[in-house]
Amino acid sequence: MSKAEQNKPLVKHIYTADPSAHVFNGKIYVYPSHDLNVEVTDNDNGDQYVMEDYHVLEMDSVTSEVVDCGEVLNMREVPWVSKQMWAPDCAYKNGKYYLYFPAKDKDGIFRIGVATSDTPGGKFTPEAEPIKGSFSIDPCSFVDDDGRAYLVTGGLWGGQLEKWQTGSFVMGDPDMIPGSDGPKGDEPALGPCVGELTDDMLQYKEAPKHVQILDENGEPIKACDEKRRYFEGPWMHKYNGKYYLSYSTGTTCYIVYATSDSPFGPFTYQGRILEPVIGWTTHHSIVEVDGKWYLFYHDSSLSGGINSKRCVKFRELNYDADGKIITMNPYDN
């Protein structure tokens, strides 16, 4: 498959974003968020991302037709949700599939919910309450080789991550510029949170912990380092025994990564994976398919650059001999 063939939207009948890709039962399943086709105004709180349901995309291989499994969960089915069902992920364990999703509760606070299914394509049945102790957005599920399972979560600004620095939600001034209540300047940047899940995959074993991301000198990445600091969209995968934490830098629109010997870190910054795409946001996943690795991501090319109407794409990802991910330009054919 050529790079040009890979640089096409997976589907065009709906707007999709934030793809979490997995191989289940020999097929590729992509769990994206669903951008509704409505007219909205952009702001730094993310209110333009109007989402209320999830679809699952199924592929027999990277060259096959993409099948939309249909709506697998709607916010109307989740008692605690008020709005904004954003980027989800899915995990398999115990003979079941677990769909993890963020949404605002009735108080306007982002929590992480979970829904279950006997099949990877759904439909998914939600738990009545969010995961206890959960907060912020962008859950990434990671099941390690030993069967232990983790959730990696967190997004700044509209994702409310910086509002949890004390361990409890602090609203702050509603007129405050998004992000202004977080670390600044040379202060250590906030990292995502990692929490191990219980064996039934429905709760945390203990409170999730903030992960530290270090530079090449072993010093914490600074809040002002917008080309390398964590913003949102975490993804964790394992390659040659190392844990790879990749994420979006937000304002500078890069996908970058760091590595560690533990899922709890600390992680050491390694470099860029993807240069900026059309549209403000960037969010991704990394999956191995038949011995090759692929990056699933989104841009706003299908809508002509409208930030809140995006489309999922993918392209092959390569490592060098030292395990470094080779940087990609999304439009290099």
Strand ranges in 4-52 using DSSP code E only, listed in sequence order:
15-24, 27-35
Q: What pLDDT does 2 receive?
A: 54
Distance, in Å, from the CA atom of 311 to the CA atom of 18, rounded to the nearest integer, reads 9
In this prediction the pTM is: 0.95
State residue 322's pLDDT score: 97
Structure token pair of residue 54:
């999830």
Question: Which of the listed CATH numbers 3.90.1530.10, 3.30.70.600, 3.30.1330.60, 2.115.10.20 matches domain 8-181+277-317?
Answer: 2.115.10.20
Between CA 230 and CA 232 the distance in angstroms is: 6
* Chain segment 173-203, per-residue pLDDT in tens: 666 666 678 899 999 999 999 999 999 999 9
Q: Report, as residue numbers or ranges, the catalytic residues.
A: 18, 232
Q: What pLDDT was estimated at residue 280?
A: 83
Asked if 42 and 308 touch (Cβ cutoff 8 Å), the reply is yes
Write the burial class of residue 304 (CB in 10 Å: 0-12 exposed, 13-18 middle, 19+ buried): exposed
Task: Check residue 180 and give its pLDDT.
Answer: 73
Q: Rounded to whole angstroms, how far apart are CA atoms 247 and 231?
A: 7
Rounded Cα distance, 234 and 322, in Å: 23
Contact between residue 242 and residue 261 where contact means Cβ atoms under 8 Å apart: yes
Separation CA 14–CA 257 (nearest Å): 30
**DSSP 3-state assignment of 252?**
helix
- Residue 301's pLDDT is 95
pLDDT beneath 70: ranges in the chain: 1-5, 37-49, 173-179
Using alpha carbons only, how large is the chain's radius of gyration in Å? Answer: 18
Q: Determine the pLDDT at residue 103.
A: 96
